[in-house]
Copies of this chain bind each other. A is one copy, B any other.
């Protein structure tokens, strides 16, 4: 399915007006997040891989054009223009796996106005969602104290595309794999899974179920909480004593602190080092809580609340015109002011730890590491992201996060994001112009 029509209709009505009024000059749009969702102290870029593919492949097929014609809104010359459409501009982005903050431009597109405009909806759709998931996963990684996590979210994610990209993004953030087989196939990431309660219930007894499973798999993980967790663990112990190899047990319900301790102790007392897999309504808050209270866990299966970022289920990224051939642009609606001009974000480190960011014009000479990289130049892709590399990159970036941001609660100290002097001055000048414009008219 060609997804280039996955756009708000207004992108096309605006494009039509630009086409008709010869307003298709080179323009620059930037995507940024307005403010932090609940409890977030930093955000993580993600989905740039998909966005670059979508932009470089953006085109309209005959059936798309036919559909647009059927709307009776557009002239034939505009539809012909769309039929031959190809993105020929430049795209800059903060790479997937990099940490960023509100108001920082994360994607910057410079292209003829129509090209830059009609990409808005799909870019926001992919970035808002994937960055939200990455930002959630970073919190889970912080809370889980190096205990490996696996994505179990497919059944509660918002549809097909969501389930695949949640698996990908969680892996990028350090999850060790996913239960989602299609995601494993597409992204070449490890897949995990053993059995459900229904499996246990399909046999005359729990023991019979365990024995049948052991016939098929070497060293499996056994689900022990279908009827009574401790009884389930005892049955696993009996099988271990018989000589079966069992990698671990999974506990999906009940008092996780009490049960994981009792079950681990039961095995250790009998000389077996059995891994404890814990799942069931986990998120960074529950993980932090049960680990603080002494739960003994070797692996976490994290599902629903991660895959929907349930405490903050959207990121309010916006995509705004910042400059065109007539000059720099701002919007002055209440609470929705934008920073004008083509910008870059510079990051300053101290002893390898992030110290502050500076948002500046792209052509300013500013100390620090420029975060936005050029992905597409004149329509040609310069960088294709690789998931394994993004995963390493995120790990590095997370290690540079200052201590005061490494918390799942709202940090009392905010990370310092400065605006360059030149940018401040340009903003003030534009604000004054708009105020006088409003008064005169």
Chain A residues near B (Cβ < 8 Å): 3, 5-14, 16-18, 20-21, 23, 27, 29, 64, 67-68, 71, 73, 113, 117, 120-121, 124-126, 128-129, 152, 154-165, 179-185, 191-199, 201-207, 212-213, 215-217, 220, 225-228, 231, 235, 252-254, 304-305, 308-310, 313-317, 319-321, 324, 326, 329-336, 434, 437-438, 441
Contacts and interface: CB of A to CB of B under 8 A. Distances in A.
Contacts of A320: 197-198
Contacts of A310: 313-314
Contacts of A202: 18, 23, 27, 113, 321, 324, 329
Nearest to A207: B441
B441 A201 contact: no
Contacts of A165: 159
Classify the secondary structure of A's interface with B. Answer: mixed
Contacts of A184: 9, 67
Contact of A156 (B14, B124, B195, B329): B124
B8 A154 contact: yes
B204 A326 contact: yes
Nearest to A124: B155
A177 to B, nearest CB: 9
Contacts of A434: 227
Contact of A29 (B128, B156, B198, B309): B198
B155 A120 contact: yes
Top-5 shortest CB links A-B: A9-B193, A159-B161, A10-B193, A158-B158, A124-B155
Contacts of A194: 10, 13
A438 B180 CA distance: 33
B334 A254 contact: yes
Given A6-B164, A316-B304, A121 B158 contact: no
Contacts of A333: 197, 225-227, 252-254
Contacts of A308: 158, 313-314
Contacts of A160: 3, 6, 125, 159, 161
A197 B5 CA distance: 21
A363 to B, nearest CB: 22
Contact of A8 (B152, B207, B330): B152
Given A20-B216, A181-B5, A198 B321 contact: yes
A10 B196 contact: yes
Contacts of A128: 155-156
